[in-house]
Amino acid sequence: MENIAFIGLGNMGGPMAVNLLNKGFKVSAFDLSADALAKVAAAGGRAASSAADAAESASVVISMLPAGKHVAGLYLGDNGLFARLPKGALVIDCSTIDAGTARKVAEGAREKGLSMLDAPVSGGTAGAAAGTLTFIVGGAAEDLAHARPVLEAMGKNIFHAGGAGAGQTAKICNNMLLGILMAGTAEALALGVKNGLDPKVLSEIISKSSGRNWATELYNPWPGVMDNTPASRGYAGGFMSELMLKDLGLAEETALQSHAANPLGALARNLYEEHVHQGNGKLDFSSIVKHFHSLN
């Protein structure tokens, strides 16, 4: 069984590390949050004192970090993990970052004789806890074959999108659509409620009609409509609005670089930028409903 170093134990990374432990993997973990480290330690993992300490004797390193600068900082340079890991080690970055940084880091791994996959995830915090995440993987097919047992301990679906950086491009496309769908769902529900409809009834109608989508069926943004969603616990936990804004920004940058049109993605980014600037950045991204309807 692989010895795994897990770096980054936030709302997604923490449950993923616990699932690895539950499947019998040995996990040494590191995070700047003592509380996050304690949760993994309570599940049987080793709380490391640093990322380098976590990677000591690891054959697989998994990272789940906020942005590309954090991923590059973790792995590259004289003090990065690539300078410490033994040849042949497998690195799996599950962060959602720009494809250019993913390719740069993968090239750095190759230069050190290491294998590297970019493997961002979809499925939210519920999927992370349940071990049903979708992994969207970029990198060599043989490296994915090596990684598959590890990924299967944390997820249900594994897609090979292509070479280095392809996983990030596919994830950015998915999250751009997610942001658009959530904003549109919130706007539709607010319109119905403004005109006297029950949000639960309207959500049920939409979920059985042509407007059905993931937000209405599994992640409703209206409080009280669906149990066990961030909307029904004050938008705590889940996928923070500031992270959705980051991903929509990545989509816009990708569109500009490739001369692709993204008018709806740009509009969703503008909505989330205003939402975050109004102090909602730490709330789940479904809280965008507040932009269309006062919930106070």
Annotated active-site residue in 171, 200, 208, 246: 171
Centre a 10 Å sphere on the Cβ of residue 180 and count the other Cβ atoms it contains.
20
pTM surpassing 0.75? yes
Rounded to 5°, the CA angle 208-211-212 comes to 50
Residue 67 three-state SS: coil
Residue 171 is a catalytic residue? yes
In whole angstroms, what is the distance from residue 68 CA to residue 88 CA? 23
In whole angstroms, what is the distance from residue 51 CA to residue 139 CA? 23
In whole angstroms, what is the distance from residue 48 CA to residue 281 CA? 29
In whole angstroms, what is the distance from residue 226 CA to residue 295 CA? 16
Residue 188 three-state SS: helix
pLDDT of residue 1: 62
pLDDT less than 70: residues of the chain: 1, 295-296
Per the listing, tokens 């692709």 go with 260
pLDDT of residue 295: 66
> Which DSSP helix (H) or strand (E) runs through 138?
strand 133-138
pLDDT of residue 126: 84
Residues across the chain: 296
Q: What is the pLDDT of residues 44-66, one digit of tens each?
A: 999 999 999 999 989 999 999 99
Q: How many helices (H) and strands (E) does the chain have?
A: 12, 9
- Ordered by start, the domain boundaries in the chain are 3-163, 169-292
Per the listing, tokens 């959530």 go with 182
What letter would DSSP give residue 280?
Answer: I
CATH superfamily of 3-163: NAD(P)-binding Rossmann-like Domain (3.40.50.720)
Domain boundaries 169-292, CATH class: mainly alpha
pLDDT of residue 2: 79
